[in-house]
Amino acid sequence: MPDTGYLPKEKVKDFMRELAKDAVVYAPCLEGDTVIFRPFSEERTLCFDRPANSPPKSVIYPQSEQLFAFEYKKDPEDHQKMSVELKADTNVPGMVIFAARPCDARGFTIYDRVFIDTDTPDPYYKKRRENTLIVTLSCAEPSPGCFCVGVGGGPAHKEGSDAMMTELEGGYFIEPVSEKGKAILNKSMIEDGSPYLQKAQEAQAKAHEAVKNPFETDKLKISQDLFNNDAFWEEAVSKCVSCGACTYLCPTCYCFNITDEQASGKGERIRSWDACMFFHFTLEASTHNPRPTRFQRFKNRVGHKFVYYPEKYDGAIACCGCGRCIRYCPVSVDISEIVSNLTESGQKQQQTAGSAKK
């Protein structure tokens, strides 16, 4: 069997139908003028020509999911006595994420360390992750705000992908990354990829050149002095409105809430996405709030991605540079600019310029 594959453009839908035989295939689909990952079906309009507005994180980490159901039951002998029954279901169908961008796939590896590589793995996330095949589409050109190369990724970076497609003139070159990804080369519509290898590599290299690196060096060095300087944060996020859009659209944000819903003696405990940008996120019942201001919350968000997470996980940055928080921020807060200003070289520039380099 050849190491690589090639999928002619006219056979893309056939290929997706084939994958959909034993899995739910999530693909970027056009809804109005936004692109969102939806279960593939014939009536949907696929859209591969720009990154989806929201990442496919909800496929593996749903915006809202049941942790367990509970039911209060009356004791038949003694009606004053109630018992409780709990039921947890971690079964999920096979799934495919199709034509996600490499940054989105890499986002899942950032979750893996937190949700799987721990002494208390999350069974819901783990099961979905194990049951999902991720076929990415490398980026031909950057979108506004993209900075994947600044955080160790790239438009054809393969970490997190099971297989990667690269668009060529008449079709897609396919490189398997994992064992799971290799299996798709067996599908009947996949041709031998070797004649296209060189063209694909050229396309990938060209795309890499086109992505800007907002940081001076490859090794990000955050200045502790600046990071701990409240005035820096107050200025940096003075326009932030704490709407939380950045967190919901982020392929690496994973903060969540747990709540109970109940109706007449039974209900469920639910886990839902939450956002550290909200005042209520850390508000305690005593009314004490450890992060009451917008700048403290923003500092925590940037800190988590660029300082705290790397501290815990061997220097890995919890940002994949997809640029969505920059593209869709209603007040144009730019995390790459803020982090760049936080670096030691950024600090030097500020000193010589006498003010923030904005």
Partner 1 sequence: MTDIKNPYLPELATVLRVIEETPNIKSFQVAFNDPEKMKGFTFQPGQVGQLSVFGVGESTFVINSPPTRMEYLQFSVMKAGEVTAAIHNLYPGDQVGIRAPLGNWFPYEEMKGRNILFIGGGIGLAPLRTLILFMLDNRSDYKDITIIYGSRTPPDLCYKDELKEWEERSDVNLILTVDNEYPGWSKRTGFVPTVLKEVAPSPDDTVAITCGPPIMIKFVLEGLAQLKFRDEDIITTLEKRMKCGIGLCGRCNIGSKYVCKDGPVFSLAQLKEMPDDV
Binding site for partner 1 (CB under 8 A): 67-68, 70, 72, 80-84, 86, 88, 90, 114-115, 118, 120-123, 126-127, 130, 228, 254-260, 262, 267, 269, 271, 274, 276, 281-286, 288, 290-291, 296, 300, 303-304, 307-309, 311-312
Return the number of the residue (219 or 288) whose C-beta is nearest partner 1: 288
With respect to partner 1, which residue has the nearer C-beta, 6 or 248? 248
Longest dimension (CA), the chain: 82
Minimum distance, C-beta of residue 256 to partner 1, in the bound complex (Å): 5
Shorter beta-carbon distance to partner 1: residue 186 or 286: 286
Minimum distance from CB of 12 to partner 1 (Å)? 32
Shortest CB 89 distance to partner 1, Å: 10
Q: Is the distance from CB of 248 to CB of 301 less than 8 angstroms?
A: no
The DSSP bridge partners found for residue 261 are 268
Q: Measured from the CB atom, is 73 or 239 closer to partner 1?
A: 73
Nearer to partner 1, 158 or 299 (CB): 299
Q: Give min distance, CB of 22 to partner 1, in A.
A: 17
C-beta of 256 vs 328, nearer to partner 1: 256
Q: Which is nearer to partner 1, 23 or 197 (CB)?
A: 23
Dist CA 174 CA 306 (whole Å): 32
Least distance from C-beta 300 to partner 1, angstroms? 7
Kindly state the smallest distance separating residue 32's Cβ from partner 1, in Å: 32
In the complex, the smallest distance separating the C-beta of residue 290 from partner 1, rounded to whole angstroms, is 5
- Residue 151 beta carbon to partner 1: minimum distance, rounded to whole angstroms: 18
CB of 253 to partner 1, least distance (A): 9
Strands 24-31 and 95-100: parallel
Is 127 or 180 the residue whose CB approaches partner 1 more closely? 127
Residue placing its CB nearer to partner 1 in the complex, 85 or 141: 85
Three-state helix/strand/coil letters over the chain: CCCCEEEEHHHHHHHHHHHCCCCEEEEEEEECCEEEEEECCCCCCECCCCCCCCCCHHHHCCCEEEEEEEEEEECCCCCCCEEEEEECCCCCCCEEEEEECHHHHHHHHHHHHHHCCCCCCCHHHHHHHHCEEEEEECCCCCCCCCCHHHHCCCCCCCCCCCEEEEECCCEEEEEECCHHHHHHHHCCCCEECHHHHHHHHHHHHHHHHHCCCCCCCCCCCECHHHHCCHHHHHHHCCCCCCCCHHHHCCCCCCCEEEEEEEECCEEEEEEEECCCCCHHHCCCCCCCCCCCCHHHHHHHHHHHHHHHHHHHCCCCCCCCCCCHHHHCCCCCCCHHHHHHHHEHHHHHHHHHHCCCCC
